[in-house]
């Protein structure tokens, strides 16, 4: 086997295992662009994974499950909106609490289903495109959810860049006082940011239980939500760079699994460390280069309640 024969399946696996991270990263970018920091991604993802899994198991429809994951994610993120937007609570602490709640919910409701399986998504090659050498095998022999994920970054890019609503949402994150003075309803835009972002994070979770594995285990998200939060900084809040980051991390995760499967002499705990150590490195590198000042100026800052 040549290195080329090994590289193509590895890249295909990178796209697959990067997809849940991509959904979550895009979700968090959307939320943060509106000026809300939601550190609950890990919890929202895990709860979305469970909601997707249970819905698919009971209804027999993975499509319904995927949607359920998104809506449950949005609902859970709504709690964050309630605490931070309506009651101006501390965004950092609320997000952490949301993670604790989401992990707790997934453990509490999911325990009876550990090891059970649900109908999920299987790869569907796209006729024609999948025949392109290398690229076809990497990008177009995936499951339908991956194809859905291809559409999200360009749509988000267009939304932020070319639509009135996108510009308004960004202005709420950059300078809410000016936005309010211009007559925008700051809270409404922040709510939209939190709910849509939560929806995308929930989709990322549902991807894990419906396409990545087809069965339920506890701790399915394994820190991917946190990696997504870090990738937002790496991506400088741009959907395009998020794709890059997510597939890179998907690649690292896929590589680490493959290496374990070959029975190397490196202990598995050290291999498992790899993605997290790399996250720190990537974060350090991008904060050092980008100097962190590309964040929306009012990220994490609550606005005073209206009088």
Partner 1 sequence: MNSPFRIVKREAPLGWGVCLVISGAVLFALGIGMGMLSIQGKPPLSGMGLLLQGAFGSRWALEDCVGKAIPIYLCSLGVAVAFRLQIWNIGAEGQFALGAVGAAWAVYRFSALPGWTLIPLMMLVSFAAGAFWGLIPAFLKLRMRANEIIVTLMMNYIAVFFLDYLVYGRWKDPASFGFPMTPTFPESAVVGRIGGTNLNWGLLLCVVSGLIIWIFFRHTRLGFELKAGGESLQAARYARLPYENLVVLVMVLSGGLAGWAGFIEASVTLNRLQPSIMVGYGYTAIVVAWLARLNPLYIGIAAFLLAGLRVGGENLQLEIQVPAAFGEILEGLILLSVLASSFFIRYRFTPRRPS
Q: Residues interacting with partner 1, by CB under 8 A?
A: 39, 43, 79, 82-83, 86-90, 92-94, 96-105, 107-108, 111, 223, 226, 229-230, 233, 267, 269-270, 272-273, 276-277, 279-280, 283-284, 287-288, 291-292, 304-307
Query: How far is the C-alpha of 37 from the C-alpha of 9, rounded, in Å?
Result: 36
In whole angstroms, the minimum distance from the beta carbon of 218 to partner 1 comes to 9
Nearer residue to partner 1 within complex by CB, 226 or 247: 226
Instruction: Give min distance, CB of 94 to partner 1, in A.
Output: 5
Nearer to partner 1, 80 or 141 (CB): 80
Of 130 and 302, nearer to partner 1 (C-beta) is 302
Nearer residue to partner 1 within complex by CB, 62 or 81: 81
Question: HEC states along the chain?
Answer: CCHHHHHHHHHHHHHHHHHHHHHHHHHHHHHHHCCCCCCCHHHHHHHHHHHHHHHHHHHCCHHHHHHHHHHHHHHHHHHHHHHHHHCCCCHHHHHHHHHHHHHHHHHHHHHHHCCCECCCCCCCCCCCHHHCCCHHHHHCCCCHHHHHHHHHHHHHHHHHHHCHHHHHHHHHHHCHHHHHHCCCCHHHHHHHHHHHHHHHHHHHHHHHHHHHCCECCCCCCCCHHHHHHHHHHHCCCCHHHHHHHHHHHHHHHHHHHHHHHCCCCCCHHHHHHHHHHHHHHHHHHHHHHHCCCCCCCCCCCCCCCCC
CB of 213 to partner 1, least distance (A): 20
For partner 1, the closer of residues 57 and 83 by Cβ is 83
Of 57 and 79, CB closest to partner 1: 79
CB 102 to partner 1: min, Å: 8
| Sign, CA torsion 264/253/53/144 | negative
What's the min distance (Å) between Cβ of 10 and partner 1?
22
Tell me how far, at minimum, the Cβ of 103 lies from partner 1, in Å.
7
Cβ distance to partner 1 smaller for residue 146 or 230: 230
* Distance of closest approach, residue 266 Cβ to partner 1, in angstroms: 10
Residue 63 CA: distances (Å) to CA of 148, 161, 177, 222: 12, 30, 41, 24
């Amino acid at each position: 086997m040549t290195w080329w024969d090994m590289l193509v399946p590895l890249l295909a696996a990178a796209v697959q295992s990067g997809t849940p991270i991509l959904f979550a990263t895009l979700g968090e970018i959307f939320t943060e662009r509106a000026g809300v920091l939601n550190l609950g991604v890990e919890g929202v993802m895990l709860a979305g994974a469970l909601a997707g899994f249970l819905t698919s198991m009971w209804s027999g429809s993975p499509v319904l499950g995927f949607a359920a994951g998104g809506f449950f994610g949005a609902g859970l993120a709504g709690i964050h909106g309630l605490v931070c937007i309506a009651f101006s609570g501390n965004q950092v602490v609320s997000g952490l609490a949301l993670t604790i709640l989401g992990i707790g919910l997934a453990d509490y409701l999911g325990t009876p289903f550990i090891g059970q399986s649900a109908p999920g998504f299987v790869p569907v090659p796209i006729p024609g495109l999948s025949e392109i050498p290398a690229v076809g095998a990497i990008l177009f022999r995936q499951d339908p959810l991956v194809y859905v994920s291809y559409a999200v970054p360009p749509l988000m890019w267009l939304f932020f860049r070319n639509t009135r609503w996108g510009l308004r949402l960004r202005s709420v994150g950059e300078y809410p006082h000016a936005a309010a003075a211009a007559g925008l309803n700051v809270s409404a835009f922040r709510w939209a940011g939190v709910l849509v972002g939560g929806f995308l994070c929930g989709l990322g979770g549902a991807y894990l239980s419906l396409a990545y594995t087809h069965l339920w285990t506890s701790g399915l998200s394994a820190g991917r939500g946190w990696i997504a939060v870090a990738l937002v900084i790496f991506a400088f809040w741009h959907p395009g760079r998020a794709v890059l980051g997510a597939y890179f991390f998907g690649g690292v995760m896929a590589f680490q699994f493959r290496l374990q499967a070959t029975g190397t002499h490196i202990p598995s705990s050290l291999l498992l460390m790899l993605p997290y150590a790399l996250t720190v490195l990537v974060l350090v590198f991008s904060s050092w280069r980008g100097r962190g000042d590309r964040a929306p100026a009012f990220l994490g800052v609550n606005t005073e309640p209206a009088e």
